[in-house]
Each structure stands twice: as C-alpha cells, then as structure tokens.
Structure 1
C-alpha cells in the first residue's frame, strides 16, 4: 500500500515535539477516580439580567487552553505533570432556572462526596451559578471564605427578578452558607452599583476593595491583608472570578463591560498568590459571552487564570517539600 509522506488528516494542527500545550493536560474523565483537577462546565445564562451567551463559555475556555504552553518562563516552572479530568458539562433545564441551579448543586455535592480531594475548576455560565457552586463547596468542605473578583456586589434584592446573576451573594449570605466577614470583594467598580447595596454589604461585614483601592495599593498586599482576616476562621477558601472585573478594553466578551476595571496582569498576580495558600482549593470563572468577544480574548484570559491558579498550587507544593 502506498504512503504519502506529506499528506495528513484535514485540519491537523502543527505539532512541535518539544512543546506541550495546556490543552494536552485535559483528558476525558472515565467516571472513576478524579485525579488532580476536575474541570466542570456549567453552561447556564438564562438567569442573566442582560443579554448573555455565557452558556457557550465552557467550550471556548477549554479551546483557549490550546493557545498556551505548560511552561512558565517567569518562574522557570512547567505545569506538565498536572492531570486534569474533564468531567463535562452539567445539563441545564431548558426553561427552569431554579431547577438548573438545583442540578448544579446536586451534581457538585455528589462529586465532592465521591471525590473529596480533587481541585474543582468550574467554568460558567453566568454569575448566578455561584450560589449553588459555593453552597455545594460549603457542604463538602465546611466553613468557607470566598474571594470574589467582580465589578459588582451581586447582592441585588430577590423580589425584582428572582435568583439572577445579580443575586448570588445575597442568597449565600441570607441562607448562611457564608458569613459576611468571610466574603472579600475585589475590584468593585465605580458607577456599577448602588448606595443601598453598598450599605448592605457593609452591614454584613463584607471586606470590599474598590478599583480605586486596587489601583492605589499592590494587589498582593491587599490579598495578604484579606487572608489574614479570614484564613484562621474557615476550613477552605474559594475563588470566584467574574470576568467583568476586568476593564472593557481587555475583556470585550463580558456582558457587563465597563471602563475603569482591573487589568489582566493584576488578576493573574492575585490568583497565583491566593492559590499558594493551602486552604484555597476551588476556582470558578463566570460571565464570558463568546458571541460578543473578539478573537476569544476574554476566554484566553480565563484560560490563563486557570494556569496561574495551577502555578500557584504547584509553587506551594514545592515550598512544602
């Protein structure tokens, strides 16, 4: 049989034998043991109060991992030994948003019960998923602190629109899943919130760092300050990254874009620093709408956030050896 040396299957990408792409670390889960990391998609965007195609984001973030190698030249560190199991996407109900959130909670609760030691990386979806994701995390891990990177407080009242992407942290606080003193909000942006909701989070004892504070102080100093307030009072810490914390120039694929937001490098530094803490054992990324993005810019930032989270965990492991 003849062979043709230069013929390849259609759409075969260029392969360099000396380069490992981050996407190569992700393998389909065999529904048995979850190894190091479990990647879970939550494609829900019907709960958004503005137009959103965030349900498509889990797929674009996975694809964006292929844009990066596993080698961090800044730290001379390779992430190539991580095992990432892709657990797939949680199936949403077509019309019932509350039932969809219930499915998120029940799925994660079962996964944690069966595999309590994996690192969950959850890909939203809009910010409404934070209520069931953190609720399940709390059920599995105990008392939880949350570092919320967000332009908004997300404590809207529940009477005007039900459980939307503007209400998850109000639901978490009022159901006592988390305490106000264990919630740290980073990157709250000017002209994106209301006086009533600012007073609400103050009354709850939430630590709030506005973008003005982020600009004036180094992000690592802020994160260290906040950690010192919560780390000895909780069993686990969860990172919730709403991509609209970023400035609109860097994250055009967010439904609620706006000027005056955080730059991507500051977000990377914060996530990497926090991930080095032993109690930080969960990450979610929400609020990307690939249908309005430009060249998947926002999804690529999300993929980079995942890599910096893993880099932080790896640096922490090296320190503990």
Structure 2
C-alpha cells in the first residue's frame, strides 16, 4: 500500500445503506483510494482558509462536498454520459499546519508533488480552501511538465495583489506565480472579472504582464463559449498543459450566497457550467481546482452544491475526450 507523505485519508466518508440497483450516487463511485489501485481521476482536498483576506470557513469545503456525494448521481442528462465509467477516487486531504501558513503552502506544493510522483497519470480535481492554495498547487503542477504551462482563471478578482501588504493570501496567487517565474502572463486568461472588486493599479499590472482579461459584462454580452475558446487559445499557445482554477465568487450573489466575497451582477450558474464543460473537453487541460466556498455562510449548502456541479460538469466534458 502506498502511503503518500503529507496526504491524509479522507476525513469524511458518506456510506449508503440503501441503493437503487439502476442508479449510482457519487458516494458509491468516488470511493476512498485504497493506496494500491490505479486511478485516473483523483479528488484531493486542500482545507486551508486562514490565508483568506475575508473571514472564511473555506477549509470546511472538502468535507462539505463529501457530505453531498450521496445526494447527486453520476449521470448527466444534458450530455448523456455516466461518470462511473471513469476510475475516480477520493485521495484525501493535504496535511495543514495549525499556525504556520507558509508551511501550509509548502505542504500543498510538496504534498501534491508527492501525489503526482506516486500516480503519474492522475488528473487532479482539487477542492479548496481559499484561492491562496492555487499558487502552491500550480507550482507542483508545473513540476510535472518540462515546458511551459497556461492558466484559465474564472474569477471576479484578478488576484495580483502585492505580496508586501500581508504576504501570500487568497488575493495573491497569480502574483505569486508570475513573480516566481512559474507562469508567464501571456499564458494566463481570466474570465468573469468584476467592477468594484478590483483596482486600477492591479489592472495596469496585469496588462503589463500580458494577462488576457474578460469581464463578467463581456460574458453577459458576448456569450461564454467564444470567450472560453479565446481563453483556451491564450493558455494553450506554446504550453504543455493548462491548469483551470475556478473561484466560486465569480457567480452572481443570487447563485452563490456562500462565498466570502459576494458580487452583484456576476456570472450565472449556467455560464459557469458551460465554461467548465468546454474546458473539460480540451485535452490540454490537465488539472482543476475549485475554491472560495464558505459552508458556514451557505444556506442549505447551495453554493457547495453548485461547486460540486462544477466538478461533475467538468468531468462530463472530460469524458468527451474518450473514444
């Protein structure tokens, strides 16, 4: 049995005592990894939210998602695919430190690198946690590929805050990746950026770095599909792999009441689901994270449920890659 350093087993496992022989729930498909079997899709929790600028309980999200595994099925009626055909397992959670936030980030990078070394063919589905986790996650992702990587970020915020006024936080992952040389700005595309959620100096910085940006208003006026295709072209131009990061605060507050930084007039659920479905189909996309949901502030787990649908819809797109 493989014991992966800095990876703990799933803290919560939903078990069903009753089942319908003709229906499969996610809880019956996305089982805990036994440490031996080959896995194609790996669900990995990163329970860190002390690095959030806003008060956030996003560290609870991996388990909140697991709680809902028993509530949804593996079948997409929209795309007529059944996810149980994929070999997917819940690998557990990256180990956090109680007080040392920089060590938490180091654990994320090294823990994910350990996962990829043990399971070199794994496609990671990473559940945050706040958006600070994306910087160390992408650093580990980059170590898998000899060439350059691209990023498609779906988010209300640019996340290029300076690192001096508070250190690495959920507002700095893209800045951290740029300044560390992990990713070049010309290989980053951001979708869903929102007015009154960013500042002009950071807009100027992003433009100077060559980042391609699309606002939520552009999505509403031009449609999500052409914008996603442009974003994939940017992130995939001369790169070996694309990493997709979804901050759930990209959604309008009506669709995502359980995010720490709600916005008015954000994207709709269908715009987001259509975006990740397209991204899932792209064979150059080789990793996904979903971040910034606070189950404590989420009435009836509405936003957690939408985050789970984002993951499942992305995988429905992923299945279209298969013959």
TM-score by length of 2: 0.92
In structure 2, the residue matched to 1:3 is: none
Deviations 1:50-76 (A, max 9, x none): 111111000011222322211111222
In structure 2, the residue matched to 1:275 is: 280
The one of 190, 194, 202 aligned to 1:197: 202
In structure 2, the residue matched to 1:103 is: 107
The one of 290, 300, 303 aligned to 1:295: 300
Supply the distance in 1 between the matched residues of 2:123 and 2:81 (Cα, whole angstroms).
20
Task: State how 1:237-256 maps to structure 2 within 5 Å.
Answer: 237-256=242-261
Supply the distance in 2 between the matched residues of 1:187 and 1:207 (Cα, whole angstroms).
12
Q: Rg: which structure is higher? A: 1
Supply the distance in 1 between the matched residues of 2:67 and 2:277 (Cα, whole angstroms).
22
Following TM superposition, by how much is the alpha carbon of 1:193 offset from its aligned partner in structure 2, in angstroms? 0.3
In structure 1, the residue matched to 2:120 is: 116
- What is the aligned length? 308
Alpha carbons of 1:38 and 1:219: their partners in 2 closer, same or farther (altered >3 Å)?
A: same
SS in 2 for 1:87: strand
Supply the distance in 2 between the matched residues of 1:267 and 1:209 (Cα, whole angstroms).
14
SS in 2 for 1:285: strand
Following TM superposition, by how much is the alpha carbon of 1:23 offset from its aligned partner in structure 2, in angstroms? 2.2
The answer to whether the aligner puts 1:223 opposite 2:228 as a matched pair is yes
In structure 2, the residue matched to 1:127 is: 131
Task: State how 1:1-321 maps to structure 2 within 5 Å.
Answer: 15-142=19-146, 143-317=148-322, 321=323
Supply the distance in 2 between the matched residues of 1:271 and 1:57 (Cα, whole angstroms).
19
Following TM superposition, by how much is the alpha carbon of 1:176 offset from its aligned partner in structure 2, in angstroms? 0.8
Deviations 1:64-111 (A, max 9, x none): 232221111122222221222111111211011000000000011111
Deviations 1:242-301 (A, max 9, x none): 000111111111011121111111111010101111111111010011001011111111
* Cα RMSD for the two superposed structures: 1.4
Following TM superposition, by how much is the alpha carbon of 1:34 offset from its aligned partner in structure 2, in angstroms? 4.1
Verify the 8 A CA contact 2:152 2:232 in the aligned structure 1: no
Which 4+ residue blocks in structure 1 deviate beyond 4 angstroms? 11-14
Supply the distance in 2 between the matched residues of 1:151 and 1:83 (Cα, whole angstroms).
33
Supply the distance in 2 between the matched residues of 1:48 and 1:230 (Cα, whole angstroms).
26
Deviations 1:138-189 (A, max 9, x none): 1112421111111100111111101111111100011110000111111001
* Unaligned segments of structure 1, at least 5 residues: 1-10
Supply the distance in 1 between the matched residues of 2:168 and 2:237 (Cα, whole angstroms).
31
Supply the distance in 1 between the matched residues of 2:37 and 2:139 (Cα, whole angstroms).
23
Supply the distance in 1 between the matched residues of 2:37 and 2:242 (Cα, whole angstroms).
23
Following TM superposition, by how much is the alpha carbon of 1:33 offset from its aligned partner in structure 2, in angstroms? 4.2
Supply the distance in 2 between the matched residues of 1:75 and 1:43 (Cα, whole angstroms).
31
Supply the distance in 2 between the matched residues of 1:12 and 1:117 (Cα, whole angstroms).
30
Supply the distance in 2 between the matched residues of 1:170 and 1:121 (Cα, whole angstroms).
23
Supply the distance in 2 between the matched residues of 1:101 and 1:12 (Cα, whole angstroms).
35
Supply the distance in 1 between the matched residues of 2:235 and 2:97 (Cα, whole angstroms).
36
